[in-house]
Structure 1
């Protein structure tokens, strides 16, 4: 039987990928408004009990954060989520809720309390995700019940699987984004547009 969301949560931040539309730049290290994209997202989940960043070894992470790589390398976000959840369970009992976030959404912080509150209010939901201005779910801007997330990822290494095909079948709540919360940055034009 589902349980209500406790105060504690873990966080898995996906920061791998090839960033083709950024000319192969290290996306987590791209700066927006004076901070790396990754640091914006880590700041949004600063209250997490444990945080894992799935990224290449070349991406620096704070001391309190664990960095792992997906297997196979370059296997995509589902492979990253599999690796991140495994790392969060290593040597500890994971929190009942896990944030699953992409590193290219730097303005998530104000959405975090609303996502957690939505999940708290509906014990039957497997998670709560942001929706963009067009109402599309942002699977990698969400908080999930850890057991539901693990079950959705069970039996796959995640290689080249679409996130929607894995998480889209879960009973999820949607929370409309406010302002720039659902912005994700895939091109230099998008990055430049955010600089004054």
Structure 2
């Protein structure tokens, strides 16, 4: 009997390689512009030059019923301590006003002459009290700004840019640097007591001021300086001049505290 006929098994087809799945085409992300800092005006590296500081802390505070502005408390800290902290990295600090036991002994205390001669006289007195040679920049601030630390940080972040900034004088075509930076409030008004001035320019402005410095306008004193304006956020430039200002910031005046004392 012949052997059974064996049929060969069909050879299975070679498996085809699976195609590599293709990722769906994604639209290229839109190139967003770099984030801009409202206090920076160029791509220059932020290197803050050495600076001195003048804190204007005098004044009679008539509208605050004679309350000491430096002693007012905002969120648990005095305006004095806030202003000193704001310029804590200064080479030298001059306090133009009444000294008190709470001041760091390294702070230079002086007063304008005659007393209560106004901000321009206070600035001139503070400038005269700084040790020489002066630092390249002088930061000038008022003590009655609760958010002074934010404001000074904004100024210092712009100082390095202004320090390297060169403009062309329209008079004779001579290139020269800016004379500093000055804070501008939300309404567009310059704040001379919230500024960083080039020391040489500020000294020159005080020396060449024609009017008596006592009672003079600080805006008039600095009007010829070439200052870069720094727009500050709303509220940063708000000061404490009236009981309404104090109430708005939640600051209790001394006579109010006494009235609530049992």
User: Do the two structures share a fold, i.e. TM-score over 0.5?
Assistant: yes
Q: 1:42 aligns with which of 84, 96, 107?
A: 84
Is 1:117 the counterpart of 2:157? The answer is yes
Is 1:134 the counterpart of 2:134? The answer is no
Say which is worse superposed, 27-36 or 12-21, in terms of deviation.
27-36
Contact 1:22 1:187 in 2 (8 A): yes
Q: Report the 3-state secondary structure (helix = DSSP H, G, I; strand = E; otherwise coil) of the residue aligned with 2:191.
A: strand
CA distance in 2, matches of 1:42, 1:141: 14
Taking the TM superposition and a 5 Å limit, the aligned residue runs for 1:13-162 are 13-57=55-99, 60-89=102-131, 92-122=132-162, 123=165, 124-155=177-208, 158-162=213-217
CA distance in 2, matches of 1:106, 1:151: 31
Contact 2:70 2:143 in 1 (8 A): yes
Q: Which structure 1 segments of 5+ residues have no match? A: none
Q: Report the 3-state secondary structure (helix = DSSP H, G, I; strand = E; otherwise coil) of the residue aligned with 2:125.
A: helix
Contact 1:119 1:173 in 2 (8 A): no
CA displacement at 1:45 relative to structure 2: 0.7
TM-score by length of 1: 0.89
CA distance in 1, matches of 2:116, 2:204: 23
CA displacement at 1:6 relative to structure 2: 5.1
> Which structure has the bigger radius of gyration?
2
CA displacement at 1:105 relative to structure 2: 1.2
CA displacement at 1:59 relative to structure 2: 7.3
TM-score by length of 2: 0.68
CA distance in 2, matches of 1:151, 1:8: 19
Contact 2:139 2:196 in 1 (8 A): yes
Q: 1:190 aligns with which of 245, 250, 256?
A: 245
Contact 1:119 1:125 in 2 (8 A): no
CA distance in 2, matches of 1:42, 1:106: 12
Residues 57 and 63 (structure 1), Cα distance of their counterparts in 2 relative to 1, 3 Å cut: closer
Q: Which structure 2 segments of 5+ residues have no match? A: 1-46, 166-176, 252-262
Q: Report the 3-state secondary structure (helix = DSSP H, G, I; strand = E; otherwise coil) of the residue aligned with 1:100.
A: strand
Residues 96 and 53 (structure 1), Cα distance of their counterparts in 2 relative to 1, 3 Å cut: same
- Give the number of equivalent residue pairs: 191
CA distance in 1, matches of 2:86, 2:99: 22
